[in-house]
Structure 1
Amino acid sequence: MPEYLHARNRAGAAHPTTVRVDTPTIEHHRVPFGIGEARPRISWVTTAPASWAQTGVELRLELDGQVRTHEIPTGESVLVPWPFEALRPRDRGQLSVRVWGADGDRSGWSPATTIEAGLLRPGDWVARAIGAGWTEGPAGDRPPVLLRSEVEVPGTVVRARLYATAHGLHQTEINGIRVGSDELSPGWTSYHNRLRYYTYDVTGLVRTGHNAIGAWLADGWFRGRLGFDGGHVDLYGDRTAYLAQLEVVLSDGRRIVHATGDAWRSAPSPILAAGLLEGEHYDAGREQAGWSTSGFDDSDWVPAGPRRIDLATLVAPSGPPVRCTQELAPVSVDRRADGRLVLDFGQNLVGRLRISLRGKRGDVIRMRHAEVLDGAGELCTRPLRGAHSTDTYVLRGDDTETWEPRFTIHGFRFAEISGWGDQDVHGSITARVLHTDMRRTGWFEASDPDLNRLHENVVWSMRGNFVDLPTDCPQRDERLGWTGDIQVFAPTATFLYQCGGLLSSWLRDVDAEQLPDGTVPWYVPVIPGGEQWTPPRPGAGWGDAAVLIPWTLGERLGDAGVLRRQYASARAWADLQYRLAGPRHVWDRSYQLGDWLDPSAPPDDPAGGLTDPNLVATAYYAHSSDVLARTARRIGSDDADELDSRAYAARQGFRDAYRTGGGRLTSDSQAAYALAIAFGLFDEDELPAAGKRLADLVRAADHHLTTGFLGTPVLLDALTRTGHRDVAHQLLGRRTVPSWLYPVTMGATTVWERWDSMLPDGSVNPGDMTSFNHYAFGAVADWMHREVAGIACLEPGWRRIRFRPGVESGLDWARAAHETPYGRASIRWERRTEGVEVEIVVPTGTTAVREFPGMPDRELGPGVHTSLLPEPACWGEPVG
């Protein structure tokens, strides 16, 4: 059957007639406001005719009433270095871009992006930290604090900014109106090393004359209870603190600065208790009306107490804050005989409830949360362990009252509400979804509804676990930044969302928390965690995050800067592996988690699986050695030759210790072969036998998984690389436990921590560690993007793309799209009577190769390419 191929633009015309440049972006900021980079890198997306290629760019910056331009002869458009003088604190400018190609004709100017610097130096701060003006009680008896002050503004306001942070969590109000839409600010960082502050545009809130500023201040991660085994309090200090600086520019040029300090006053808040794990207890009868407005009588308040925040630790954010991104109404309400309501929101989510109701003063509403119901239809709270996840609201008793907790979040699908009475629920109870407000960049859909639900589960698990940092689970008494979990999930994460800002910030904390010997903690930020986790020990797969996540950001986002910045951290980890592996280059003398949570592991021993943990450790040693060597070459380090030699030795160490000949390994398990194949530890002539053995093991398991956290993410790729795509697709399609689709058949709406977090009879896994929202096994979505839909990154930043329709899947159709740094790339393929119709979109500035079974590869340039291709001789059969 002949192939037809043509290119058109996204609107369908043969060629776009002009070159268009979109609004430029700055670093990985969603909005470049209050940024901390004095010389931020610039990116832009161009749409142009298929034959056009950029050869130069002109950048224009309007700043302080002056226009600066700079021309660069370059074809680059991703994270281009700042060509102007460094930004000064508070600088605000308009940045535009125009480009040209070989003919020299220039495009029109792009829409301008507004860029504003924050406070870049400790000396830019005049504020002094404050807190409660009384001696606070012991942990558990320290309610959040109210802080307030007033300021006179003697003129017309042109611009007003609030710079604010806290040891703890804060919300600020000006003249009775809340500042910003961010939640849980300033988030969780390694506070002794880095404390994030946010910049707020409050021009519309500050007025001529009297103004009041007030703040709520709560424990948060700073001194609240964190972690498992009963948790720990006061990990960073036993006193919360608030630091804020209001700067107002008047029409006559004067600048008014009002900052936290001696003039502020404090009082207990109506929040009686607030904990991230416990929930929030709010007594509306204790509210003080108008406390954050001017003229309020605060004579019974006490002067705020002085606190200390090291100004040298303050950093501007590199990504967006946590926000409410969606609201969900309950899909069902079950009224119990005792008056309780049990609500099902139809989706396991992370956030909290907002309620609106009437009642008498002193009436109590209690809200409990859980991910699943038990066999009796009650909230199953056992998996929450020590997280109480209970919010309590005491009514003030006037008119309709609307309330939402401020300083807590829960992981839940179901909520039990007591005290509601017979009031209508419709429109009165809403679940508010909270997570870091990242821009969505990746989509997938196929003809199998179960695969679509699996992919949607992955998206929801990422949303629920990207709450300021990448966590392992959002519901129980843990919620920690486990390094191994995000190490395997990072390729999927960077496809689905623009998470470069969040991950690059977290990597700075990895560097800050890394031990002097190079040990990377199991989770970052570090908190005590029992003798298994404290003090941190070097663990394969987890510590390797220091090497592998920067590499992923470099490849998927085109960010070589993060490779340079994290190189010392990555090298320190790799040096430690080198020392621990010794002259044999075999890492077999350390405590390891191995292929954590493989389905054969006992419920009380997640590390006790099929695969030798030392084989896993040595495989990761070899893999990180290789990736670090490639990193050194990418950034031009003088270490490259030395690291190449080390990588070769590490590979040989694995081969000498764990090969038995004929493509076999000492651990005859799916995980062992998958890791060795994916990490390039077999020679090419050994791959057919190794791949056959892996495929045989999958078939012997009736196309079920026998892998855990480290083996699973590379399993399908290992099968694919060795020519067993059919087995890989059958494995993905299996619907009985253990498999990716088994949870879907059980009604899952997020990815589970265990393959059988819920057993086939509907009971919850008896293991102490059982989460229903955990993204690690969701790393399979990266393979779905690449091998089911058929879109893959071949060169850093998606400069070159591979398109290969996953026709062996047996699906009728599939499609995926990704907002690459160069613009949207996408593929859609569909089986038709006359063949397979394929539509591919290649962004300007990139090249692509289209692969298809039984046909030679085809080079593609920018544009839209539609083809009708002959149906392959063999189609894969999905397993039902």
Structure 2
Amino acid sequence: MKPAAIIACFFLLFRKNGLAQLNVTNLLTEAQKDPISVDAARPRFSWQIVPEQGKTGFQSAYEIEVDTISTNNGGYVKLWSGGKVTSGQSLYIPYGGKQLKSGRSYFWKVRVWDEKGNPSPWSGFASWKMGLLSSADWKAKWISPSSNGPVPLLRATVSLNKEIKEATAYITSYGFYEARINGKKVGDAYLTPGWTSYTKRLQYQAYDVKDLLKQGENAVGVTLGNGWYRSPLGPVAPRADFYGKELALLLQIKVVYADGTERLIVSDESWKSSTGAVRFAEIYNGCIIDTRLEQKGWDKAGFDDREWKSVKVQSYSNNNLVATVNEPVRQHETFKPLKISTTPRGEKIIDFGQNLVGWVRVTVKGQAGDSIRISHAEVLDKPGNFYTENLRSAKAQNIYILNDGEKHTFEPQFTWQGFRYIKVEGIKGDLNPDDFTAIALYSDMKVTGSFSCSNPMLNQLQHNIQWGQKGNFLDVPTDCPQRDERLGWTGDAQVFSRTAAFNMNVHNFFTKWLKDVAADQYPSGSVPYVVPDIFKTGTNEVGGSAGWGDVATILPWTVYTAYGDKQVLETQYQSMKAWVDFITRQSRNNLWATGNHFGDWLFYSVNDDRDGISAITSKYLIAQCFYARSTQILLNSARLLNKKADEQFYTQLLQKIKNAYLREYVTPNGLISSDTQTAYVIALEFDMLPANLRQQAADRLVKNIKLYNYHLTTGFLGTPYLCDVLSKFNHADVAYKLLLQDTYPSWLYPIKAGATTIWERWDGIRTDGSFEEASMNSYNHYAYGAIGDWMYQNIAGIQAAEAGYKKIIIKPLIGGNLTWAEAGYDCPYGRISSKWKIEAGKLDLVVTIPPNTTADIFVPDARGKTYQKYSVQSGVHHYSRQ
């Protein structure tokens, strides 16, 4: 028998005996695929299981092996094995071997056993490389250009005299940087090194640059830009130089030759500096590129830099340097012009059909000295003219100056814009659509969620929610991407976080940002309004608002429940506790009735008082409810982390908070003093009322909604929970009516007005076609998109019964005259999907449950009145009911 036939027979026998039911895939280290800069002392490993078709795929045990490379022959040497561990856990298993070394590569594999004790094959190897673990590992020097211009160029040449085996670049800067080696861009990330609390946490990025370097002469070039470091920041009167006045670079490339010897390329006093074609680049105001001043070949070997000036060596500390864990900002979707037209004012404009964030690539030809000006806007005004008043002081304008009559293709550098429309000036004749491409820019988070249904308006709403997230998740969760703001408002991130976690994998994105929440938290425990905090001046604390500061507790809990990562609670615990303790110190008799609060920001306000019903909710009532919510999360976290004393203390405190709320704001028969939708919503969502008063509170909420003709009146803090509360308390029909309402104020009203993202205000464009006040009227502002969470959890019915979806609930909510709906979600264990349709009075439901999880599936009848429960294991499940 031939060897291949022997192998085939053995494989068949192996399967027949039930020994090959599982395979292991999607190996991640610290929630990243093959990262090359890990600074966790004990990296954690995760994986997913793929069972054979028809098998459930349960893990009963696992074994992890970690290897390193032998320096002698390049083979693998076992470094650590945890042995067989009896556990179904496949997420965040910590390395348990000897201390790991800076810059060293490691490899790991895993095998698992199924519920019958049959082993899987070993997985293939995944890899990771440790980052630079101490400041002493940095041999490079901080350097600044000789002149403090806006966009300097830095360069150095280096000769490499041996065959290169591997090369890793570690780069960071004060200001933005773009690095180039031998004329090619290093990596595909933008807006590096990202935005953090720079004095406490400055990220560096690592790149594999082996293919960019060559044996012989090499050139390393870096362009620096103002970035978040010293661009004017903040609304109304932006402040420049918030973090510092001088741009600076730190760069270190470790080259390993084929013979095992090493060479370091570092930034130091040997580098030179000059300027080039980019004359100006700021976040709000855009970019100016003058090709007449271009220094061609400046980033290549052989360039004559004798006229360049020496750099300055700076004495900055390296103690704040941290490896990057979140996904970089990258280029994504592209859009060609949907329409080119001339406005009543004679402006040449292009409509790309989608409000997006990024920039426009333009190809132009003209005469030397011609200036091409690209301006950006989200909307046109009622007559159809270009409208930029809502950008406030932000110019949002890119200017390109030609040096000859040849064709040139331009993209801006170190800036971005939020826009659907552009105005083009300086091009003679008609605009050619082939010359313009809009490019979307956002953090490269994996898309994990999808939702669609039989109602096209709801599908557009889902589209708008997703694009609002894309446009505002640029390294930090910003409030808007177009005007003179673009800040990490804490309240906005808090209310949207659950929806964000369905749409995209925001685990690393939020984990990174939460560390800056803690870093910028004030000594009192108060949390800033924005993170990174650019409002602070000296010792002045600009924060402490209910619903905004509560991001310190609510967001870590959201990340934990979505991804099952308990470490985020451990990391953030002191920050969470400090926030609750801050509120406690501000309170009197367990009532938080002090301080400045935004309240139910941008709620629907009316001039009349309908039968004693109002839309204005007491800010202190709201504060008391969020005080309780944060305390509840803190005690839950204390319980998970086995902090018994804290659990007991905050359990008692929570009861005092709720008792104080009842005494101050609720009558004995359940009337809340602020008789508003938001007051009832947050009281019920945060469990502020005794059991005997809850249903009547929900009924009062419905009465309020009916008085407003089935319209919502909630703002930022009430809206996320509105439909959730209604469906929990037997008013799903009202929840659907609110969701499907298409007149102002409602979620669908902007869609009827042509919105392609979520608006900041319910009436950003009024019914008469006029605009809300320009001082605060963004057309890409994700907060009200928090309804997406309800659509996933209720219309599709996908819910987490245990953190990380180890146990799942599927419970679709039938209503709204929908005839079908489907959603999918990539949880840490794999794909969950729920698809239902109603046809001829019968409901069909198809559910997919990923391996190594279980689920309770609640199958509704075709009218959504009753449910039948099924407890299932992983796999595809089909159900039908009349």
With the shorter chain as reference, the TM-score category is over 0.9
Q: What does 1:16-31 align with in structure 2 at a 5 Å threshold?
A: 18-29=21-32, 31=34
Q: Work out the CA distance in 2 between the residues paired with 1:438 and 1:529.
A: 30
**Secondary structure of the corresponding residue to residue 212 of structure 2:** coil
Cα drift, residue 448 of structure 1: 0.5
In structure 2, the partner of 1:373 is 380
Q: Work out the CA distance in 1 between the residues paired with 2:412 and 2:615.
A: 42
Q: Would you say 1:568 and 2:579 are equivalent positions? A: no
Aligned partner of 2:150 among 114, 122, 143:
143
Aligned partner of 1:113 among 123, 126, 150:
126
Q: Work out the CA distance in 2 between the residues paired with 1:702 and 1:863.
A: 44
1:335-389 deviations in Å (ceiling 9; x for gaps)? 4699853011100000011111222211111000011111232221111011110
Distance 1:340 1:85, change over 3 A: farther
Q: Would you say 1:715 and 2:722 are equivalent positions? A: yes
Q: Would you say 1:311 and 2:315 are equivalent positions? A: no
In structure 1, the partner of 2:593 is 588
Q: Work out the CA distance in 2 between the residues paired with 1:18 and 1:221.
A: 52
Q: Work out the CA distance in 1 between the residues paired with 2:703 and 2:295.
A: 70
Q: 398-407 vs 704-713, which deviates more?
A: 398-407
Aligned partner of 2:632 among 608, 622, 626:
626
**Secondary structure of the corresponding residue to residue 106 of structure 2:** strand
Q: What does 1:28-427 align with in structure 2 at a 5 Å threshold?
A: 28-29=31-32, 31-48=34-51, 50-64=55-69, 65-68=76-79, 69-71=81-83, 72-134=85-147, 136=148, 142-335=149-342, 340-422=347-429, 425-427=432-434
Q: Work out the CA distance in 2 between the residues paired with 1:183 and 1:601.
A: 44
Higher relative CO (Cα under 8 Å, sequence separation at least 6) belongs to 1
Cα drift, residue 848 of structure 1: 1.0
**Contact 1:227–1:529, Cα closer than 8 Å, also in 2:** no
Distance 1:424 1:110, change over 3 A: farther
Q: Would you say 1:557 and 2:563 are equivalent positions? A: yes
**Contact 2:833–2:847, Cα closer than 8 Å, also in 1:** yes
Q: Work out the CA distance in 1 between the residues paired with 2:452 and 2:344.
A: 43
In structure 1, the partner of 2:480 is 473
- Matched to 1:19, the amino acid is L
Aligned partner of 2:871 among 855, 859, 873:
859
Cα drift, residue 579 of structure 1: 1.7
In structure 2, the partner of 1:528 is 535
Distance 1:456 1:530, change over 3 A: farther
| % same residue | 37
Q: Work out the CA distance in 1 between the residues paired with 2:46 and 2:543.
A: 40
- Matched to 1:75, the amino acid is G
Q: What does 1:763-842 align with in structure 2 at a 5 Å threshold?
A: 763-766=770-773, 768-842=775-849
* Cα-Cα RMSD: 1.9
Q: Would you say 1:756 and 2:756 are equivalent positions? A: no
Runs (5+) with no aligned partner, structure 1: 1-14, 137-141, 603-607, 871-880
- Matched to 1:66, the amino acid is V
Q: Would you say 1:539 and 2:542 are equivalent positions? A: no
Distance 1:657 1:813, change over 3 A: same
Q: Would you say 1:692 and 2:699 are equivalent positions? A: yes
The TM-score normalised by the length of structure 2 is 0.93
**Secondary structure of the corresponding residue to residue 826 of structure 2:** strand
**Contact 1:147–1:267, Cα closer than 8 Å, also in 2:** yes
Cα drift, residue 17 of structure 1: 7.2
Q: Work out the CA distance in 1 between the residues paired with 2:740 and 2:99.
A: 54
Cα drift, residue 601 of structure 1: 7.0
Runs (5+) with no aligned partner, structure 2: 1-17, 70-75, 608-613
- Matched to 2:114, the amino acid is G
In structure 2, the partner of 1:496 is 503
Q: 147-156 vs 356-365, which deviates more?
A: 356-365
**Contact 1:30–1:438, Cα closer than 8 Å, also in 2:** no
Q: Work out the CA distance in 1 between the residues paired with 2:791 and 2:319.
A: 44
**Contact 1:30–1:320, Cα closer than 8 Å, also in 2:** no
- Across the two proteins, how many residue pairs are aligned to each other? 843
**Secondary structure of the corresponding residue to residue 444 of structure 1:** strand
1:211-250 deviations in Å (ceiling 9; x for gaps)? 0000001111101111112200111111000110111111
**Contact 1:367–1:415, Cα closer than 8 Å, also in 2:** yes
Cα drift, residue 156 of structure 1: 0.5
In structure 1, the partner of 2:72 is none
Q: Would you say 1:600 and 2:611 are equivalent positions? A: no
**Secondary structure of the corresponding residue to residue 862 of structure 1:** strand
**Secondary structure of the corresponding residue to residue 566 of structure 1:** helix
Q: Would you say 1:464 and 2:475 are equivalent positions? A: no
- Matched to 2:82, the amino acid is H
Q: Work out the CA distance in 2 between the residues paired with 1:215 and 1:855.
A: 62
Q: Would you say 1:868 and 2:873 are equivalent positions? A: no
1:281-307 deviations in Å (ceiling 9; x for gaps)? 010110011111111110100001222
Distance 1:754 1:121, change over 3 A: same
- Matched to 1:33, the amino acid is I
1:778-830 deviations in Å (ceiling 9; x for gaps)? 00000010111111111100111111122123201001111111111110000
**Secondary structure of the corresponding residue to residue 622 of structure 2:** helix
**Contact 1:30–1:319, Cα closer than 8 Å, also in 2:** no
Q: Work out the CA distance in 2 between the residues paired with 1:113 and 1:449.
A: 43
1:252-302 deviations in Å (ceiling 9; x for gaps)? 111111100110000022211110000000101100111111111101000
Q: 104-113 vs 142-151, which deviates more?
A: 104-113
Distance 1:16 1:717, change over 3 A: farther
**Contact 1:339–1:418, Cα closer than 8 Å, also in 2:** no
1:390-423 deviations in Å (ceiling 9; x for gaps)? 0000012153211101100011000001112236
**Contact 2:20–2:118, Cα closer than 8 Å, also in 1:** no
**Contact 2:156–2:220, Cα closer than 8 Å, also in 1:** yes
Q: Work out the CA distance in 1 between the residues paired with 2:384 and 2:635.
A: 55
Cα drift, residue 530 of structure 1: 9.7
Q: 344-353 vs 390-399, which deviates more?
A: 390-399
- Matched to 2:128, the amino acid is I
**Contact 1:229–1:529, Cα closer than 8 Å, also in 2:** no
Distance 1:530 1:693, change over 3 A: farther
**Contact 2:345–2:385, Cα closer than 8 Å, also in 1:** no
**Contact 1:595–1:710, Cα closer than 8 Å, also in 2:** yes
Cα drift, residue 528 of structure 1: 2.5
The TM-score normalised by the length of structure 1 is 0.93
Q: Work out the CA distance in 2 between the residues paired with 1:814 and 1:703.
A: 23
**Contact 2:145–2:274, Cα closer than 8 Å, also in 1:** yes
**Contact 2:343–2:385, Cα closer than 8 Å, also in 1:** no
Cα drift, residue 23 of structure 1: 2.4
Distance 1:421 1:338, change over 3 A: farther
Q: Work out the CA distance in 1 between the residues paired with 2:841 and 2:388.
A: 54
Distance 1:526 1:235, change over 3 A: same
